[in-house]
Structure 1
């Protein structure tokens, strides 16, 4: 892609955890079209409080499954960050309808609208959920961008979120190849960091549960963590760097749950942490080498991420 001209960018699902930070970053240099369900809803008040929001943010009422609403938000934009994706908070009774269709059909609606609106580049926010569910990957080998989650394995194990992200990212990259639309995918791991939105997202809830864990047993699994602000920076690099292509794994720190709790306890000794850790079979490891070496991405220390996360939870009364 030729160097990107400054202009308008659409961010889908603008009110979410990652998307809010993307809007915050982009609005410093671009006019942002943010898609939300109901622009007047109080749950999006945090977006209007961002520094450059009065000048550079316009919220659009849009639904991923409504093509015309997506097109109206995307028209006039040189780039699109497709962040919106359903994350089931409970076990879904109808995963095809509740998880897979919005993820896949919604993504195709966005991409078709991008093609019609002559968008220069689409940055698709995928997940390592589209990378790690692969039982055939050689044991002990670090997973990189060539590794894909096995769709049938996801379906057999009822891992609907992993399946939805794998299906959607596959469709997005194939759509780009077929039509010539420039599509770049970024696959973050577990995202921590300060929250801008008023509601608790799934990954922040996982950290809050460790901070308030009490006597519950937790799995001592390897957690691959990245700061939400560093994810936003990675997405901006994927958009602005002409050489960006294909997919990029985005992760910063690998730490076992027990060690993570020890680290939290050393900073915040008075919390009620879990004391019982159940060891699990060693899991996969991932590499962000492509993002670091080819796009010049950098990331924060884990301590900074944890301290800023906890401060934001305290400020929002989430640890009371």
Structure 2
């Protein structure tokens, strides 16, 4: 609490570090994933509401709280007004998306009840150079796909975004007075099969996965509308090629590839 008594702005980074493909489908999912996501967010927001100096809170959510719905293709491009359907998430065992959706909705409820100026950044899958001693779960998944360690690649169609763009979006959300509500930060939407083919063409010396799994519900065509964050001053988002080139170079330099 003492840490929240001084700053005028608070940044809440993502509370979930596991990639959705790596989330286990087990009976403990509520205790291991859903409750920590929701309760961690609410605890910080409630502390912020008691700190008179806090003027704005910037929360990292996810495009997973936007794109999981039966009509995703029909209503695309998806924008900040769209929400993932919790029942859709439960039906297809998309617990990461379920936790993100419920967690963000609860954050908005608490913010409204307590008069908190909340700005939410909704990034897609974050890719780029390795910034930590060990890969995050998302970067580890990509590494496993490149090295052929999983047996198959996910039947997923989703957006990707460079870590540099995600950092810039959070700074924008923190410093731009006009920033409000949700802000989608997502570059091109592609299937994992397209990513693997792109990497094979540029880096053919790795034993990539070549078989797609049969999971359903996560492969619907869609697109994301980033006009809101662009109009606030977000620089042009980096391309799929740029973010994966930076990934490969970084992992080669640090001995993972």
Shorter chain as normaliser: what TM range?
A: 0.7 to 0.9
Gaps of 5+ in 2: none
Question: Which residue pairs with 2:147 in the alignment?
Answer: 212
8 Å CA contact 1:225–1:254 kept in 2: the answer is yes
Question: Which residue pairs with 1:105 in the alignment?
Answer: 39
Aligned length: 249
Q: Select the residue among 216, 234, 243 that pairs with 1:296.
A: 234
Aligned with 2:57: secondary structure? strand
Identify the range of structure 1 (165-174 vs 147-156) with the bigger mean alpha-carbon deviation. 147-156
Question: Which residue pairs with 1:82 in the alignment?
Answer: 12
- Distance in 2 (CA, whole Å) between partners of 1:124 and 1:284 is 24
Question: Which residue pairs with 1:168 in the alignment?
Answer: 103
8 Å CA contact 1:194–1:309 kept in 2: the answer is yes
- Distance in 2 (CA, whole Å) between partners of 1:165 and 1:131 is 9
Per-residue deviation at 1:140? 5.5
In structure 2, do the counterparts of structure 1 residues 140 and 79 end up closer, same or farther at CA, with 3 Å as the change threshold? closer
TM norm structure 2: 0.86
8 Å CA contact 1:251–1:286 kept in 2: the answer is yes
- Distance in 1 (CA, whole Å) between partners of 2:239 and 2:29 is 37
How do 1:25-64 residues align onto structure 2 when only pairs under 5 Å count?
A: none
8 Å CA contact 1:122–1:184 kept in 2: the answer is yes
Deviations 1:263-303 (A, max 9, x none): 21232221112334579864222221211123434322333
- Distance in 2 (CA, whole Å) between partners of 1:111 and 1:282 is 33
8 Å CA contact 2:148–2:207 kept in 1: the answer is yes
8 Å CA contact 1:198–1:316 kept in 2: the answer is no
Question: Which residue pairs with 1:186 in the alignment?
Answer: 121
TM norm structure 1: 0.70
Question: Which residue pairs with 1:283 in the alignment?
Answer: 221
Q: Does the alignment pair 1:305 with 2:243?
A: yes
Question: Which residue pairs with 1:141 in the alignment?
Answer: 76
Per-residue deviation at 1:234? 0.5
In structure 2, do the counterparts of structure 1 residues 106 and 215 end up closer, same or farther at CA, with 3 Å as the change threshold? closer
Per-residue deviation at 1:195? 1.5
Per-residue deviation at 1:161? 1.5
Question: Which residue pairs with 1:318 in the alignment?
Answer: 256
Question: Which residue pairs with 1:202 in the alignment?
Answer: 137
Q: Select the residue among 187, 198, 219 that pairs with 1:252.
A: 187
- Distance in 1 (CA, whole Å) between partners of 2:118 and 2:93 is 28
- Distance in 2 (CA, whole Å) between partners of 1:78 and 1:254 is 36
Q: Does the alignment pair 1:239 with 2:174?
A: yes
Identify the range of structure 1 (151-160 vs 226-235) with the bigger mean alpha-carbon deviation. 151-160
Q: Larger radius of gyration, structure 1 or 2?
A: 1
Per-residue deviation at 1:101? 1.7
- Distance in 2 (CA, whole Å) between partners of 1:178 and 1:253 is 36
- Distance in 2 (CA, whole Å) between partners of 1:278 and 1:160 is 18
Aligned with 1:114: secondary structure? helix
Deviations 1:212-256 (A, max 9, x none): 127944356433110011101001101111000110111012233
Deviations 1:141-180 (A, max 9, x none): 3211111111233234332211211111111122222221
Q: Normalized per residue, which structure has more strand?
A: 1
Gaps of 5+ in 1: 1-70
Q: After TM superposition, which residue ranges in structure 1, 4 or more long, deviate above 6 angstroms?
A: none
